Structure 1
Amino acid sequence: MNQHIQPATQELPEKKSGIPAALACKCPRCRSGNMFAEKNPYRLKTTMKMNERCPVCRQPFDIEVGFYYGSSYVSYAFSIAISVASLIAWWLFIGLSTSDNRFFYWLIANALLLVVLQPFLMRLARSVWLSFFVRYDRNWQTNEPAVPERINKDQMNNW
């Protein structure tokens, strides 16, 4: 009963950080493939056009019908965080007062900032939302991605 177990000769790939991958809208499973067909979020005709699968690891991005409706909560949280950060920055650098219109100027500046950032925030929210449900797999080269259970082909990319 003296069996020797040979150590694995193949090294596991180095684990990539999830935050830069999410910010770059990369696949959460391999953290290499692009989630979106167009890299530039400000090409408004194709802003939300996602790849059906990851071009690197073949992870499906459309997990179930209506999956990305939940990303609206993530987008809302990002918008609130940006609004709070811009209010604090405005308060520190310009100041807030009830005797003039500085608060209303901040409201206008914040609204413009959020409108300009919206295409990026929508993509980022989808990337973060998907990463809640699809985990990084160090062995993505050998492991098959999970097959989506509830897909309606007629409703894919229909948002």
Structure 2
Amino acid sequence: MEPVRSTSLALLKLRCPRCHTGTLFSYPARSVGKFAVMPTACPVCALYYEPEPGFYYGAMYISSGFSTLIMLLTGMGLNFLANDPPAWVYVASVAAVVLPLAPLLYRYSRALMLYAFGGTQFDPRYQRS
């Protein structure tokens, strides 16, 4: 697997924050029962993915922010495009958008938490040659 040089691209591709090569999740996001499974450490550089117990509790706030943004954008889109429909249309539309995106919201909130507060930075010495 080729390492990613850009930290932003490594985050978008859900790669290890130190080596930018190892994957953060063991299974694809479309795997319904296993989308949340993370290895204990990076398979390439052995970076431990949970720096302290309960580290990812903060990711709930990031995920909530993502969901709120989606809710606002969906609501504003409905308001302008559908001429302010009844409340049940808003609720059904937001649910129809957020529920299928839940695995991605979960993954990216965890990845953002690890990149922002994990205490590690990209180090090319840990990449495979």
TM-score under structure 2 normalisation?
A: 0.83
Among 4, 11, 24, the alignment partner of 1:22 is 11
**Equivalent in the alignment of 2:59:** 71
Structure 1: runs of 5 or more not aligned = 1-12, 143-159
- Kept in 2, the 8 Å contact 1:31–1:136? The answer is no
**Equivalent in the alignment of 1:157:** none
User: Residue 36 in 1 paired to residue 29 in 2?
Assistant: no
CA shift for structure 1 position 139: 3.3
**Equivalent in the alignment of 1:124:** 108
- Kept in 2, the 8 Å contact 1:15–1:138? The answer is no
CA shift for structure 1 position 76: 0.3
Return the structure number with greater helix share.
2
| Alpha-carbon separation, structure 1, partners of 2:83 and 2:15 | 39
Aligned-residue Cα RMSD (Å) equals 2.1
Matches within 5 A, 1:93-132: 93-96=81-84, 101=86, 103-132=87-116
- 1:11-42 deviation per Cα after TM superposition (whole angstroms, max 9, x unaligned): xx984142x3223221122222210011x212
1:46 aligned counterpart, secondary structure:
coil
User: Residue 61 in 1 paired to residue 29 in 2?
Assistant: no
Tell which structure's C-alpha radius of gyration is larger.
1
Percent of matched pairs sharing the same residue: 27
Shift of the 132–140 alpha-carbon distance from structure 1 to 2, 3 Å rule, reads farther
TM-score under structure 1 normalisation?
A: 0.69
What number of residue pairs does the alignment pair up? 124
Instruction: After the TM superposition, list the runs of 4 or more consecutive aligned residues in structure 1 that deviate by more than 3 angstroms.
Output: none
